[in-house]
Amino acid sequence: MAYASRRGTVPAEIIGHRGSPRAFRENTLRSFGQAFVEGADAVELDVHGTCDGWVVVHHDPVTNSRPGDAGVTAVIAESTLEAVCAIDLAGVRIPSLNQMLATVPEHATVYIEVKAPRIEEAVVAAIRTGGRRCAVHSFDHRVALRVHELAPDLPVGVLQTSYPVDPVRPLRDAGARDLWQQWELIDADLIERVHVDGGRVIAWTVNDVSVANRLHDWGIDGICTDLPGIMRQASERWAER
């Protein structure tokens, strides 16, 4: 069933981008926990697969690969779960997806961005084991389609950094519900077209309240942010309008 326009009526979902990364290191249990403390409805995270078939929560395919990082550098796809989870990231560890889901409040949603190829089955298995409300999305729209084929009941989404002539076509091709769109490339027309076709639009990464206010007035469904506490405060003001 297609959505009716929700422009200005329902506060958008507040999604902590990799948790609350301004408070704690992104994609860690501390960061996710803090996002929920700050009032996030959901969190978004990134996953890769280990060589022994497990799924871990980390943005990059290699550990300790960013400027300023110090510690063991390992290619996740070539490492075991035990080896990856033993790596020190400035006092914290890389969690498995199973570990992360075990910490999530029952009311919350976890949006899982798949960063690696050929791990869709392992991701779906972890979601089934975790028993939490989840959705999967990817820049590789083939991943979204594969997850949709494996688990038709599991919502999927596609990430975009462009504004196609037909913004609904990628959703249809992947069997997707959610369009994850770079916020600079969102307008009211795009949101309306996706809603009419039965989809949702999630804006990323929104850290400016004035931008969030405009997106809410247009009827955005979700706001993915590095500042979930500030966006929760903005959401409470939207509810009072």
Q: Is 20 helix (H, G, I), strand (E, B) or coil?
A: coil
pLDDT over threshold 80, residue 130? yes
Which of the pair, 65 or 151, is modelled with greater confidence?
Answer: 151
Residue 4 lies in a domain: no
Q: DSSP labels for 150-173? A: H-TTS-EEEEESS--SSTTHHHHH
The angle formed by the CA atoms of residues 147, 151 and 154, to the nearest 5 degrees, is 85
1 confidence band (pLDDT: 50, 70, 90): very low
Q: Is residue 2 part of a domain?
A: no
Say yes or no to pLDDT of 2 above 80: no
Asked whether residue 5 is assigned to any structural domain, the reply reads no
Q: For 210-231, what is each residue's pLDDT tens digit?
A: 999 999 999 999 999 999 999 9
- Predicted confidence at residue 90, as pLDDT, reads 85
State the pLDDT confidence band at 9, using cuts at 50, 70 and 90: low
Pairing mode, if any, of strands 109-114 and 133-138? parallel
Range of the domain at 18: 13-240
- Mean of pLDDT over the chain: 95
Q: Residue 152 is part of a domain; what is its CATH number?
A: 3.20.20.190
pLDDT digits (tens, 9 = 90+) for 47-75: 999 999 999 999 999 999 988 888 899 99
Specify the number of domains making up the chain: 1
- Dihedral class, residue 195 (left if φ above 0, else alpha if ψ from -120 to 50, else beta): alpha
Q: Is residue 6 part of a domain?
A: no
Distance CA 41, CA 35 (A): 9
Q: Quick check: is 172 in a domain?
A: yes
CB 105 within 8 A of CB 130: no
The answer to whether position 208 is within a domain reads yes
